[in-house]
Amino acid sequence: MTTYNDLTSLEEGITQSIAGLIRSAIEWHGSAHILLSGGTTPLVVYARLSKQNIEWNKVWIGLVDERYVPLNHPKNNERALREALGEVVCDQAHFIGMVHDDEDAEHNLSVVSAEYKPFMDRTDFILLGMGKDGHFASLFPNDDASEIDLRTDSVRILCTTAPDFPTERITCSKGMLKQAKEVVLMITGTEKETIFNDNKESGLPVGYLQREFGQLNVFYAP
C-alpha cells in the first residue's frame, strides 16, 4: 500500500501513475486501453489527467461499471466521467460507454459485450474504488450474480443488483478485470482502510481482489 499524507497528494500520485502507464502502453502497442471507475472520489483525478501530455487519439476509455440509467441521469457514471475529462479529451479519445439502450437491459448487455471486446482482448490499466460493504466494480456481497461471477474467471460483461438506488448495474466481470496489466485501487479514509486490511481472507468481493489480483497497487490517503 502506497500511503499519501493528504487527498491532494493521493490524487496527484494516481494521476501521474495513470499518465505514465498510458504513455507506456502507447509506446509498446500503439494504443492504450484503460477502464475507469465512476463515483465522486476519482473525478479530480480525471480532471488532472485531462491536462497531461497524452496522445488521446490513441486511447480507448471504458468504464469498470455503470448504473443502468440514461446518460442524462445524475447518477450516470459516464456523464460524470466525461464532464471531468472534458470535451477536448473525450472528442479525441475512443470513449465507449455502457448504456446504449436504457429501455431494454438484455439488448443493452448484448451491445456492451460487443463494444467492450477491445478491453477483453487487452486492458493496460484499471482504476478501482471500494465501497464500505467491500464491493468493487459492481460486484456486491449478497448479490447472486456477483457471487457467481466472483467464483469464476469468465471474461464478460454482466448485470448485477446493488443494495442501493439505482439498483440495476452493468459491470465488467472479475475475470475481465483480473487480466489487466495494471490495477490501482484508490482508498480514502481510515474506515475503508480498515475494511480493506481486515478482509483479505473474507468472502467479500475485496477479499477476492486481494487474493487473486497480483498486479494490484493500493493508493491510500487518510
Q: What is the pLDDT of residue 218?
A: 97
Give Cβ neighbours of residue 146 (< 8 Å, ≥ 6 apart): 135, 138, 139, 140, 160, 205
Q: What is the pLDDT of residue 82?
A: 97
Give pLDDT < 50 ranges for the chain. Answer: none
Cell numbers that stand for 26 in this block: 502507447
Return d(Cα 158, Cα 156) in angstroms, integer.
Answer: 6
**Tens digit of each residue's pLDDT (9 = 90 or more) over 110-127:** 999 999 999 999 999 999
Q: Are 183 and 128 in contact (CB under 8 A)?
A: yes
Q: What is the pLDDT of residue 192?
A: 96
Q: What is the pLDDT of residue 90?
A: 95
Give the chain's domains with CATH numbers: 2-137+178-221 (3.40.50.1360)
Identify the three-state secondary structure at position 9. helix
DSSP string of 116-178, one letter each residue? THHHHH---EEEE---TTS-BTTB-TT-HHHHHHHTS----EEEEE-SSSS-EEEEE-HHHHH
CB atoms within 10 A of CB 106: 8
Q: What is the pLDDT of residue 175?
A: 98
- As to burial, measured by CB atoms within 10 angstroms (0-12 exposed, 13-18 middle, 19+ buried), residue 132 is exposed
Give the CA radius of gyration of the chain.
16
Q: What is the pLDDT of residue 186?
A: 97
Return d(Cα 155, Cα 174) in angstroms, integer.
Answer: 8
